[in-house]
A and B are shown apart, each in its own frame.
Chain A
Amino acid sequence: MSRAAPLLPREDAREAALFFVVCALCFLAAFSGLIARAAYAAAEAWTTEVAGEITIRVRGPEADTQRAVDIIALTKGITSARALTREESEELLKPWLGGAGVPASLSLPRLIAAGGAAGAGDAVAAALKKANINATVDDHETWSADARRVTGTIGLVALCAIALLGATGIAVIAFATHATMLARRDIVELLHLSGARDDFIAGLFERRFLMLGVKAGALGALLAFGTAAFILFAVRQTDEQAWLLPQLSLSLADGLVLGLSPLIAGAAAMFAANLTVKRSLSDMV
């Protein structure tokens, strides 16, 4: 049986407090990561969904609608075109007018849904104008660009938050390592005077803080996962379509974000420990 005991004493209250802080930072970082990824995923999904979709609203006589469909179908770059039925138009208005239905006397906008290549909207507008049909063409480009810009900003803010949390984590760990070293200066000095090399002494602290970072990071990531899962569950229970939340899917990529947290926390802790210990040792002869 090996008698060798760890050269550093077991964790004390200081390290328990540090564990809590690193865990909280990792939770916030992992959750921010999930939000950032959700924002990108949302932007991607929305823009993909509407890309190539063109909606045409026809004003003027009823006969213009079918004439417009024929013209649009023949326009270069268009792959499909059809007029929406009254039922489909009512369905689109349901969020505003309710499910009681629209009075038959109320005239609805006449809409045409067309599909085609990006940029085909301009050709459709030109063709309708040439045919003297009063219509509005919307290829959703403005909306898509706005959506991409907003979600991109959200993603950037989340990434900045992660970077800030990471830097804070490293600073906190460096401070805690320094405090731990001061508290255990007797051990460090004894090892140093016994002929231990700096790498050996730094290695003791590196391993200690690596494990602390990995454990705290894993717990923080697990809590972030639990929180995200709870939000998903709550949203699905209420059957409401929140703006971003449906994209918080906890997919493989989300798992990667969560899995990286303990590794990054551990590496940051190890790096901070190495730097702090070696700087403190350099003060000794």
Chain B
Amino acid sequence: MKFFFSQPDFKGGGIMKFSSYLLLILGAFSLVNLSCSSGAFDGQVPISGGSSGVEIAERIISLSPTATEILFAIEAGGQVVAVDDQSNFPDEAPMTPLSGYTPNIESIAEYQPDLVVASYDPGDLVGGLEALEVATLLQPAASSMEDTYVQINELGALTGRQSEASELIESIKSDLDEIASKKIGKGLTYYHEIDNTLYSPTSKTFLGKLYSLLGLSNIADPAIESGFGWPQLSAEFIIDADPDLIFLGNTDWGESVETVAARPGWGSLTAVEKGQVISVDTDTSGRWGPRVVDFLIFVRSAIEKILG
């Protein structure tokens, strides 16, 4: 009975890391309803609760791994007092057992934060914090880089790091422009797998849009209307489509080049036969912060290797 009551130890993060994708999916879902943080940044930060409007936050709690990465990237890390149990980057982020999925208002309040950043609002987190007069900023999963830039600006405004935020955005933009200028994957098709029940992002998702920057075409796009852009594909459809590249976003979860090759019928795929099954990092491919650049550089170099 031990494993009921103690936190199981996952090899390399295992299931926990899957949460990044879960958030992207939840984000896709919530964007449909809320459509917050879309469009350009107009200087207004949609925080709720707290005593006054925009002021410089000095005791921030981040319950969103992406927000944590942004805060540290704009040099506001010193103003962060606690981050949630999934915020594993950067190393100096003060990780705590706080959960962004099942947040406990009392545990959050113990840190006496003046701002809480979350990526979604489970169990009326925002309402609970409002009652305690703690300001909350909701930054749901981005559906495009524009959303990311808005979120960076919002955090810049709340931390007094406007110029760092602008610099970060410019740097990301120029990196992405450079990556997109080559379209190295033009003419290649891909399938990105987030779990072994064959859920996959289409080109209308944030992740799909990143792959599009490389010029890759997505085999899941015929199902673009299903599952808020995250359809669960038929195995036979994937085999029939025969993608040139397979990206595995679930290697922390027991999937590997070998397990993919061993699936019924998958051995005949071009990507499997030619060794073009690529494991990608769950965190950089599942978050929408500054490290999307790292993710794309990784994918680009993997494609370069394949193209020789």
Our verdict on whether A and B bind, yes or no, reads no
Task: Point out residues on A near B: beta carbons under 8 Å.
Answer: none
Task: Point out residues on B near A: beta carbons under 8 Å.
Answer: none
